[in-house]
Chain A
Amino acid sequence: EAQVTQNPRYLITVTGKKLTVTCSQNMNHEYMSWYRQDPGLGLRQIYYSMNVEVTDKGDVPEGYKVSRKEKRNFPLILESPSPNQTSLYFCASSFYSLASGELFFGEGSRLTVL
């Protein structure tokens, strides 16, 4: 089954404790991206990647890091989480070179930073 898988789905952590949210897709997509969703603010893009070893900042990259060492994986790293990073996070992927512009989203990771 074609899917984007995020882990963990739910996480409660404390300020300053490094954490990684993993994202994996099995559709051989070149393009992957991370979004955060907060009440009243819609979806905001954090980082995106056009392909392996190619990443770029989205609208709200501060406090986050990403890496793209393999095509299928695009982890989101919070080196020193703070309470303002409490949010619902979504990973998405799509083909870059084909006609369809459809983004496939994961089920989301709800993060709480105390």
Chain B
Amino acid sequence: LAKTTQPISMDSYEGQEVNITCSHNNIATNDYITWYQQFPSQGPRFIIQGYKTKVTNEVASLFIPADRKSSTLSLPRVSLSDTAVYYCLVGLRNSGNTPLVFGKGTRLSVIA
């Protein structure tokens, strides 16, 4: 299983761009990288998924270098409502054969 390492916490001011990096040195060839957001007492919510290079949606961008041993979630112009825990998840897309390992996540605090 590809384990992930993320910073435990980050602080940012409103309006700034936030980049959260996830390390996954033993990522397998078929593994995808997925990020989830979780607010207190709620279930995690899907943000973005990618395999290589760059993926962008209306919420975030995901940057994956050529060696795929790390990835960076970029949140543009964060607001107070982006305060949450962000999880990096590495595994087979729709893997039913192996457990999905979430890790401990990064707690982002956005300050006014």
The residues of A with any CB-CB pair to B shorter than 8 Å are: 4, 30-31, 33, 35, 40-45, 48, 50-51, 54, 56-59, 88, 90, 92, 94-108, 110
Contact = CB atoms under 8 A, between A and B. Distances in A.
Given A101-B32, A108-B43, A45 B94 contact: no
Main secondary structure of the interface of A (DSSP, over half): strand
Contacts of A101: 32, 34, 49, 93-94
Given A45-B99, A102-B34, 11 more contacts: A33-B100, A40-B104, A42-B102, A43-B103, A45-B101, A50-B97, A103-B36, A103-B100, A105-B45, A107-B42, A110-B41
Contacts of A90: 43-44
8 contacts: A42-B104, A57-B99, A90-B43, A102-B49, A103-B36, A105-B43, A105-B45, A108-B41
A44 B102 contact: yes
Contact of A107 (B34, B43, B104): B43
Given A96-B94, A98-B94, A101-B93, A106 B43 contact: yes
Contacts of A30: 96
B71 to A, nearest CB: 14
Interface in B80-103: 87, 93-94, 96-97, 99-103
Contacts of A100: 49, 94
Nearest to A45: B99
Contacts of A56: 99
A104 B41 CA distance: 15
A100 B55 CA distance: 14
Nearest to B85: A42
Interface in B14-56: 32, 34, 36, 41-46, 49
A43 B87 contact: yes
A98 B96 CA distance: 12
Nearest to A59: B99
Contacts of B41: 88, 108, 110
Nearest to A43: B102
Nearest to B104: A42
